[in-house]
Amino acid sequence: MDIKHGTPTSEEDTRTGQVVSADEHPMVDLSDPNAEAWIAAGGDPRDQGRMVELFSRELTGATDLMVGLAWFDPGQVHLLHHHPYADEWYYVITGSADFTIGDEQLRGRPGTGLYIPAGTRHRIHNDQSQALQIAWGFNRPSLMDVGIVWEE
């Protein structure tokens, strides 16, 4: 797209985008052993929290990324794990939590962004009294592509 003039410069540039709403996509309880797509991707029912995909290959036809939202109630833990095939990022929207990224312990607060390279172990513990909401994403379009290796 020619940004100055706002006109397409090639056939590929004429693709239209998509607008999505979180309440139109299925919410996944990470501890639900019957959450078929989550379990098929390597999810573990010992894990905690809820997530919704916004953009993914399966939901929107995305080819190079996956983006979603997640919620963790007070005391909940997203277990220590890593993704061998994908980089991940988190952005804290509301709440505060203890994040493990590699060997570091970090306090994530609203406005905190965290980048997690492929193969880096990470964990979230909502050790506060209010819910934590984060945006998250991968540089792969599907959970089936990222790999999940649990470390606890």
Domain 47-150 has CATH 2.60.120.10: yes
Q: What pLDDT is attached to residue 19? A: 79
Look over the chain and give the mean of its residue pLDDT values, rounded to a whole number.
89
pLDDT over threshold 50, residue 123 = yes
Domain boundaries, the chain: 47-150
Q: What pLDDT is attached to residue 25? A: 76
Exposed, middle or buried, 43 (CB in 10 Å: 0-12/13-18/19+)?
Answer: buried
Q: What tokens does 83 get? A: 């993704």
Which residue's entry shows tokens 């790999």?
147
Q: What pLDDT is attached to residue 22? A: 75
Q: What pLDDT is attached to residue 26? A: 83
Which residue's entry shows tokens 């513990």?
125
DSSP string, 42-84: T--TT---EEEEEE-HHHH--SS-EEEEEEE-TT-EEEEEE-T
Pick the closest to residue 54 from 147, 118, 145, 136 (CA basis). 136
Q: For the segment 16-60, what is each residue's pLDDT rounded down to a tens digit?
A: 567 777 777 789 999 999 999 999 999 999 999 999 999 999 989
Q: What tokens does 62 get? A: 């995305």
Tell me the pTM: 0.86
Contact 146, 60 (CB under 8 A): no
